[in-house]
Structure 1
């Protein structure tokens, strides 16, 4: 316990799934956590479960003004950010022939552009030795029909982690990709018909060596490790927590 004592953390998309599970772990480890999300009601419910060492800031990572407002509030209240977990993301199943400009832009705006500016705008508030964690996806190194736009957007994160690790080397700010496999979250299977979701989850679970979907807390445990001093020698890496999904 207390591996993150006194740390200030930002988790985008922190109102559900992996983001919320990580926020809970960070609070338990002594951090004060700022969570973001687009839906105020979900943020309010999340804060009820997190307690006094968490703050919710409504906002959309694709809107730079929302990110500016987030970091200005943190600057006023805390003066710094020690951990950024860029977790907000979206994935929708769309066959190649049916991809529209709007669906393409949506996934890249959230998963790539939004993530980029989430990190860029945090840098002035980050002390030397801070940690940046990007939430990837095990499918980023695989091929799946109907997921080409999503997979391409998640594959970009590996390039970000490598470049930022070198660019921020002089400040000892570490950037790593945390790569979940199939995980039980509200967004899993988004874009499928209702009758397709459970069969899809069953098939995805069988593609891991565990035979089950990960609980979001399994990913959160790894996010604590990467944020803490335990992960101080891990830089520019892609850390899979995927039950072997993309490993064997």
Structure 2
């Protein structure tokens, strides 16, 4: 990583005991520059993952429980005195599937969507809120090199999603969230971005899903490559040749499709009235 920070840097990865989170932890562990803290709800899997890595510690917590997550952040910061990178990666893939259920009579039962939204959206917002707090308390020389990366999904981009649309609500919300907070946090030296991968080829992917998605699967290394490029602070060029300088690499949604990556731009302002309304109602 291109940086003038001499001290070992501190990373927190939610959902870090498997899949993309674990792969990023492994990549960080390939250098001596990082101490990594992974957060997960499965104690056995988390401890096994951390024991196989150098300078990595597992913390058991449910990211949908703010107090649990906050206690872990506070302990890590108290022990290390700094925070440099937070990867808000924890999430649930499966929709509850009750939205289109039919019921013959009476008031239909409440759809069970809370756990998915609490983890994928609210949990990630809590992670971001805690990251912001402890970034601000970190040594001033790390300003400009503090990174918050959120895992959204290809469903977080603008395309229609007829399957898993409750999950799409959560991951699409994350894209809007980073675009809303990104400029403000960059003024404080914090770069916020979202990665939006397709179906990632992890060890947990079932043979059935592998057969459905085939060549369109995203290699897990492609996701980690993008995260590490963001952390580098250098210029990034997407698969269409669009270049974004390190200074402008914030508030971005980065679609990862197969081995390609693309910057997904915000919708255009259609006319002057739209711009005026947006600025008056939404703050720009």
Flag whether TM exceeds 0.5 (same fold).
Answer: yes
Q: 1:181 to 1:28 in 2, by over 3 A?
A: same
Aligned to 1:73: 75
| 2:196 aligned residue | 179
CA RMSD of aligned residues (A): 2.5
Contact 1:181 1:245 in 2 (8 A): no
Contact 2:153 2:197 in 1 (8 A): yes
If you compute each CA radius of gyration, which structure gives the higher value, 1 or 2? 2
Residue 199 of structure 2 aligns to a residue whose secondary structure is: coil
**Residues 1:214 and 1:65: Cα distance change in structure 2 (over 3 Å):** same
- 2:186–2:192 Cα contact (<8 Å) kept: no
Partners in 2 of 1:13 and 1:43 — Cα distance?
9
Cα 1:224–1:199, aligned 2, differ >3 Å: closer, same or farther?
A: same
* Cα distance between partner residues in 2 of 1:184 and 1:101: 34
The one of 240, 243, 247 aligned to 2:255: 240
> Unmatched 5+ residue regions in structure 1?
189-196, 206-210
DSSP-derived class of the 2:173 partner: helix
Q: Which runs of 5+ in 2 are unaligned?
A: 103-108, 236-245, 263-284
1:123 partnered with 2:116: no
Query: Which deviates more, 18-27 or 117-126?
Result: 117-126
Q: CA deviation at 1:86?
A: 0.2
Decide which moves more: 107-116 or 226-235. Answer: 226-235
Relative to its length, the structure with more strand (as a share) is 2
Cα deviations across residues 144-170 of structure 1 (Å, max 9, x unaligned)? 333110111100111111111122132
Matching residue within 201, 225, 229 for 2:229: 225
Q: Which residue does 2:271 correspond to in 1?
A: none
The one of the two structures with greater contact order (alpha-carbon pairs below 8 A, sep at least 6) is 1
- Asked whether the 8 Å contact 2:88–2:124 carries over to 1, the reply is yes
- 1:198 equivalenced with 2:207 (yes/no): yes
Structure 1 residue 97 corresponds to structure 2 residue 100: yes
2:23–2:220: 8 Å Cα contact kept in structure 1? yes
2:47 pairs with one of 39, 44, 52: 44
* Cα distance, 1:144–1:245 mapped onto 2, change above 3 Å: farther
Give 1:175 shift.
Answer: 0.5
Selected match of 2:13 from 11, 15, 18: 11
Taking structure 1 as the reference length, what is the TM-score of the superposition?
0.85
Name the one with the larger helix percent.
Answer: 1
